[in-house]
Amino acid sequence: MTGTDQSSFLGRISIRRNQVNAMEGYHEQEIEDLELFQKQLSDRFAELLSAPDDAPTEAFLSISWIRKLLDVFLCCETECKAILLMERDAAQISKPPLDRLIPELLERVVKAMDICNAATNGVELVRHCQKLAEIAVSALEQKPFGEGQARRAKKALVSLMSAMHVDDKESSVQKTAERSWSFGRRSGNKDRHHGHYRSLSWQVAKHWSASKQIHAMTMNLAAPRGPEASCLPAPVYILSLIIVFVMWVLIAAIPCQERSGLTTHLPINKHVNWTHSLAGIHDKIGEEWKKKEKKGMAGLLYEMQKMEKLGQSLIEFTDSYQFPGEKEKLDEVAAQVAELAEVCRRMDEGLVPLQMLIREAFHRLVRNRTEFLDVLEQGAPVV
Amino acid sequence: MDECQSAIPAHDGDLHVVAAAHHIVKALGTTKNLSDDLRKILIDLDAHLSLITSNIDSKGGKGFVEVEERLKRVERKIVIWESDRIMIWDSGPKEASDYLEAVDEVQTLIDSLRGLSMNENQKQKELLHRASSLLQMAMSRLEEELIHMLVKHKQQSEPTYIPSPSSQRNVVYNESVVSLDNESAKEASSKNSCSDECGEYIVDLVPEHVIPDIKSIAKVMFASDYGQEFCEAFIGVRKEALEQHFDILENGKLSIEDLLKMEWCSLSTEMNKWTWSMKIIFGVYLMSEKRLCDQVLGEFGSVNSFCFLEIAKTTILCLLNFGEAIAMGPQEPEKLLRLLDMYETLADLVIDIDALFSEDGGSFVRLEFHKLLEGLADSVKAAFNAFGVAVSSNGSLYPFPGGGVHPLSKYVMNYISMFPEYCSTLNLLLEDQHSDVASLVSEPQCGPTASLSTSCPMACHLRSITSSLESNLHKKSKLYKDEALQHIFLMNNLHYMVQKVKGSELRPFFGDEWIRKHNAKFQQHEMNYERVTWSSVVLLLKDDNPGSSSLSKSTFKEMCKGFSIAFEEVYKNQTSWCIPDPQLREDLRISTSLKVVHAYRTFLGRNPAHVDDKCIKHTVEDVEKLLFGLFEGSPRSLRNSRRMMKT
């Protein structure tokens, strides 16, 4: 989806509305707009679904894939709002069933804002993992390699694993109380290698649960039927579904507070053409989640998964390493280290922009809500 | 070191040169008054030269004897601590500096060993390996010492001198316009402010004397390429410390959803906490944290700003999101003062925020807070407008009993009397809406001759609000069936407004002209009241034939009776009316009395023949006394009053 595609679509609606407003056949034109919009949606999600499972770049659920998903979300949001609000009389928005559907949409929007904030925080944890992995990489890349480097790498990797497997039910408050920096640490030699601890605070209310939010967002979310399917309730449904879906993916991919039961069924109407790929992505992530959920994990983000796998393998290596080591084994490890370094590099490039994009989505949701409220409350049309 | 490598001698003749150089270096090393840097260079050079010698020796089979000896020596120094249960820095400065020296030595040995070519020399490889392992052991230990040090001193430096928000917070104006009707509004509310006490207030998050120790660890860890480990450990402890401070400020971690649904009273408390936390977190903790990062890490390039951002980020996001939630919420009029507090706090801090996060990595923090400031500015404007709308649209179904000062008047006047404290902010934010309002408020003060204080945007908005209040009061006065009571009500409320303006900071914004005009207004209502109530009563005493000397007894009796009935009727009605202001009440009683008693006395005086108890129900004194019992707000019956008077 390029910028020009979108501006031409928005231009189309704007011109159409201006020209045809008073004429007959207005409804037909609207149906046509909606169909074009759904066609574009379908294409965009098909592209996302077709991402390879394992690839150095652009893999399914990778950082760049999620950035793409957020781009799609931002586009859809703009276009959906254009269909709903552009050049439209406010009276149309405030009559049934929209007088019920729009406030429901806005409640979802508010919940989505909290999810965006939780995800922004979750990215911080991923960045912490990146820093630890970078330490391991720099130790493992040392030439000549010896036990000192192996121990250095191991320490970082062990910290990495414990940071990754942080229980998402655990709140920072408990964590702080439980952990002690142990002044009496010298008494037992074992816990001397406590690793690099980074306090993990979700910065949200204690009772807040990501999966409950998603569940609440799906309430009353049903595809419009019959004649409603081709008029204003349709874009409201599309926008709602996309918001819920994108938030659901964010929670599945990025560490987040309380995610048990995330496989909640999203009410995707599979009888409509445009949702085919969306449902495909939903199923694929759902499957993946089921496989991993029990183990307790940092999320389905491709880079994190990769990091976890490589990390574990490298811990095994550092455990059994004895100077000077076999050449064959060292070559094998060198390949893994290169791979881990590549993952770190992609995180280094992608995580901050991802965080910014999530923040942008957040601000977009805020604006979206204000615009709808303006229409609802002041009865003035939004241009 | 590369140059040194190429300098490894090939001939015996060169060997002598190396040996001579070595001697010179050793001799120089014994000189007492050498600078630290120079001594270090000599030690390095010494190590290097001895390596070259031993490298040559090894060809003869002896091996790196001297290097190995040195390695063994430092190994003992480092390994001995591994089994010790006491932290090195807790043991004493001597132990700490010895340890650091040992680590330096390991690093020097490693550098030298690395500097030599690795031509299949097994011994050299082995030594390097041993040294690297030793270095790792030491680094791991230093990291531990660092964490221990930071945690130990973090807890000791818990600031106790910062006053809590509860001791600072003044009476909060929590009442809303909508919820009041016939309920008295709270009198005073004061700006929640502590800007003077705690502007930029840098504290020692870690005691001054510990900083050199932390720095010494940083120095050696960075020199050995363990900078990342140092940063992770440092960030970990400091981040947690900051979050603990944040928790102490009692910031409930609330979702946006929670905040949007929150009752006004709790929300107001949260808004106060935010204002307070922003001042403490940015003005005190982050300022101090930044200094600490600069002190400890300033020498190592850009890591100090990286670490600072990592430490601060989550706490900042938390504060930011609260601000966003408030800025997006519905802007009800009662939020205005708290929003102004939030806006002013952030506006004051924005320069500090820009300075704290001046590097590239922090640009998003700067950007977000500037965005939030704009959002809060819009919120203030929206709440201000909502306040204006609420003032003009506050409706009542029933007349306010007694015609006293309406709660709306009290609420509005008390509320706006807080505005002068926010004068410069309001002037700034209301500037763009200024011209509309200025033209609406047709007070002469807005003209070209006006003084600065009466023509500023806030002044015009204030007068626009009071003029909305006036028109609303006029609407409310129409609910009284009794025209006289309408005048009492308006007189009371206008008088109240004037008093509030005169007795507060509002005065310069309204100006003397406004006060004169409004004095005249309530005096007009006072006169109207007298006219409407008493003119007809006094008229009953008027002689139709002023020419004749006296009235007939029956006419006199008739007139007396008529007057009594009319007077009692008024009395019965009006004792329940209320003029809360004692001065105003007194004035009105006097002027009423002048008019009525005077007329009555004249009437009786002109007909002395007919004056007897049978004819006259009320004496002049009775009437006078009864009139002075009016407007107390408590209904009285005439019988009670009479009895009371007789006793």
Rounded to 10 degrees, the C-alpha dihedral B8/B14/B20/B26 comes to 10
Burial of B531 (0-12, 13-18, 19+ CB in 10 A): middle
A185, closest residue in chain B (CA to CA): B85
Question: How much of chain A, in percent, has pLDDT values that exceed 90?
Answer: 48
Number of neighbouring beta carbons within 10 Å of residue A42: 17
Higher pLDDT pick, A339 / A13:
A339
Question: How much of chain B, in percent, has pLDDT values that exceed 70?
Answer: 80
Higher pLDDT pick, B318 / A179:
B318
Q: Is residue B284 one of the residues assigned to a domain?
A: yes
Q: For residue B619, what are the contacts with CB-CB under 8 A and spacing of at least 6?
A: none
Return the half-sphere exposure (C-beta side, CA atoms, 13 A cut-off) of residue B602: 13
Across the A:B interface, residue pairs with CB atoms under 8 Å apart total: 119
Q: In which band, very low, low, confident or very high, does the pLDDT at A255 lie, cut at 50, 70 and 90?
A: confident
Q: Domain coordinates of chain A in residue numbers?
A: 59-166+201-378
The answer to whether A204 contacts B324, with C-beta atoms less than 8 Å apart, is: no
The answer to whether B85 contacts A324, with C-beta atoms less than 8 Å apart, is: no
Q: Which of residues 166-185 of A touch B (CB under 8 A)?
A: 172-173, 176, 181, 183, 185
**Running DSSP on this structure, what letter comes out for residue B334?**
G
Selecting from B132, B232, B318 the residue whose C-beta is nearest the C-beta of A149 gives B132
A133, closest residue in chain B (CA to CA): B228
pLDDT tens by residue, B525-580: 999 999 999 988 888 887 666 655 667 778 888 888 888 888 888 888 888 899 99
Rounded to 10 degrees, the C-alpha dihedral A322/A325/A329/A331 comes to 130
- Please determine, for residue B340, whether its predicted confidence score (pLDDT) is greater than 70: yes
Examine the domain organization and report whether B489 and B574 are in the same domain. no
The CATH number given to whatever domain includes residue B310 is 1.20.1280.170
Tokens of A220: 């009353």
Q: Is residue B214 one of the residues assigned to a domain?
A: no
Q: How far apart are CA A123 and CA A144, in angstroms?
A: 35
Q: Is residue B233 one of the residues assigned to a domain?
A: yes
Q: Is residue B438 one of the residues assigned to a domain?
A: no
Q: Long-range contacts of range A332-335, CB-CB < 8 Å, 24 or more positions apart? A: A333/A140
Q: Long-range contacts of range B294-299, CB-CB < 8 Å, 24 or more positions apart? A: B295/B211, B295/B215, B296/B211, B296/B214, B296/B215, B296/B218, B296/B234, B297/B218, B297/B231, B297/B234, B299/B219
Mean pLDDT in chain A? 82
pLDDT tens by residue, B370-383: 999 999 999 999 99
The reply to whether B261 touches chain A by the CB within 8 Å rule is: no
Q: Is residue B183 one of the residues assigned to a domain?
A: no
Q: In which band, very low, low, confident or very high, does the pLDDT at B12 lie, cut at 50, 70 and 90?
A: low
Q: B211 vs chain A: nearest CA distance in angstroms?
A: 20
- Please determine, for residue A97, whether its predicted confidence score (pLDDT) is greater than 60: yes
The reply to whether A155 touches chain B by the CB within 8 Å rule is: yes
Helix (H) or strand (E) holding B152: helix B122-156
Q: A147 vs chain B: nearest CA distance in angstroms?
A: 6
Q: Which of residues 346-365 of B touch A (CB under 8 A)?
A: 364
Chosen domain end from B532, B563, B587:
B532
Higher pLDDT pick, B164 / A216:
A216
Contacts of A186 in chain B (CB under 8 A): 84-87
The answer to whether B317 contacts A203, with C-beta atoms less than 8 Å apart, is: yes
Selecting from A121, A185, A359 the residue whose C-beta is nearest the C-beta of B314 gives A121
A152, closest residue in chain B (CA to CA): B136
- Please determine, for residue B625, whether its predicted confidence score (pLDDT) is greater than 60: yes
pLDDT value at residue A23: 47
Higher pLDDT pick, A296 / B317:
B317
Q: Which of residues 180-209 of A touch B (CB under 8 A)?
A: 181, 183, 185-187, 192-193, 196-199, 201, 203-206, 208
pLDDT tens by residue, B30-85: 777 777 778 777 777 777 777 666 555 544 445 578 888 889 999 999 998 988 77
Burial of B204 (0-12, 13-18, 19+ CB in 10 A): middle
Contact of B150 with B238, CB cutoff 8 Å:
yes
B139, closest residue in chain A (CA to CA): A152
Contacts of A155 in chain B (CB under 8 A): 140
Return phi, psi of residue B253, to 5°: -80, 110
Q: In which band, very low, low, confident or very high, does the pLDDT at A182 lie, cut at 50, 70 and 90?
A: very low
Q: Which of residues 250-309 of A touch B (CB under 8 A)?
A: none
Q: For residue A186, what are the contacts with CB-CB under 8 A and spacing of at least 6?
A: A192, B84, B85, B86, B87
Contacts of B134 in chain A (CB under 8 A): 148
pLDDT value at residue B64: 73
Tokens of B51: 């390596």
- Maximal C-alpha separation, chain B: 159
Chosen domain end from B532, B560, B577:
B532
Return phi, psi of residue B224, to 5°: -90, 10
Place of tokens 């050299």: B124
Cα separations (Å) of B195 from B107, B191, B333? 51, 11, 24
Contact of A33 with A16, CB cutoff 8 Å:
yes
Region of poorest pLDDT, from B310-314, B328-332, B437-441: B437-441
The answer to whether A204 contacts B255, with C-beta atoms less than 8 Å apart, is: yes
Examine the domain organization and report whether B527 and B545 are in the same domain. no
Range of the domain at B241: 225-393
Place of tokens 């595609």: A5
Residue range B288-297: average pLDDT? 94
**Running DSSP on this structure, what letter comes out for residue B525?**
H
The reply to whether A79 touches chain B by the CB within 8 Å rule is: no
Residue range B465-470: average pLDDT? 95
Number of domains in chain B: 4
Contact of B128 with B17, CB cutoff 8 Å:
no
Q: A183 vs chain B: nearest CA distance in angstroms?
A: 7
The reply to whether B367 touches chain A by the CB within 8 Å rule is: no
Closest of A319, A283, A278 to residue A40, by C-alpha: A278
Examine the domain organization and report whether B103 and B28 are in the same domain. yes
**Amino acid at site B464:** S
Region of poorest pLDDT, from A165-169, B96-100, B478-482: A165-169
Q: Is residue B210 one of the residues assigned to a domain?
A: no
Residue range A225-247: average pLDDT? 87
pLDDT value at residue B165: 46
Q: Is residue B106 one of the residues assigned to a domain?
A: yes
Stated length of chain A: 383
The answer to whether B129 contacts A192, with C-beta atoms less than 8 Å apart, is: no
Closest of B351, B332, B355 to residue B271, by C-alpha: B332
Return phi, psi of residue B512, to 5°: -65, -35
Q: B257 vs chain A: nearest CA distance in angstroms?
A: 6
Question: How much of chain B, in percent, has pLDDT values that exceed 90?
Answer: 50
Closest of B346, B349, B336 to residue B373, by C-alpha: B346
- Please determine, for residue A157, whether its predicted confidence score (pLDDT) is greater than 90: yes
Q: Long-range contacts of range A88-97, CB-CB < 8 Å, 24 or more positions apart? A: A88/A17, A88/A381, A88/A382, A89/A381, A90/A375, A90/A376, A90/A378, A90/A379, A90/A380, A90/A381, A91/A379, A92/A232, A93/A232, A93/A375, A93/A376, A94/A375, A94/A376, A94/A379, A97/A228, A97/A233
Q: How far apart are CA B467 and CA B178, in angstroms?
A: 19
Examine the domain organization and report whether B517 and B549 are in the same domain. no
pLDDT tens by residue, B408-466: 999 999 999 999 999 999 999 998 775 666 555 544 444 444 566 888 899 999 999 99
Alpha carbon of residue B324 to chain centroid: 16
pLDDT value at residue B647: 42
Higher pLDDT pick, A180 / B315:
B315
Residues forming beta bridges with residue B578, ordered by sequence position: B632
Burial of A305 (0-12, 13-18, 19+ CB in 10 A): buried
Number of neighbouring beta carbons within 10 Å of residue A87: 15
The answer to whether B232 contacts A131, with C-beta atoms less than 8 Å apart, is: yes
Q: How far apart are CA B326 and CA B378, in angstroms?
A: 11
Place of tokens 């983000």: A301
Residue range B88-113: average pLDDT? 92
Closest of B100, B103, B79 to residue B89, by C-alpha: B100
pLDDT value at residue B360: 86
Higher pLDDT pick, A381 / B325:
B325
Residue range B141-149: average pLDDT? 94
The answer to whether A205 contacts B317, with C-beta atoms less than 8 Å apart, is: no
ipTM given for this complex: 0.88
Selecting from B147, B228, B364 the residue whose C-beta is nearest the C-beta of A131 gives B228
Q: Is residue B165 one of the residues assigned to a domain?
A: no
Mean pLDDT in chain B? 82
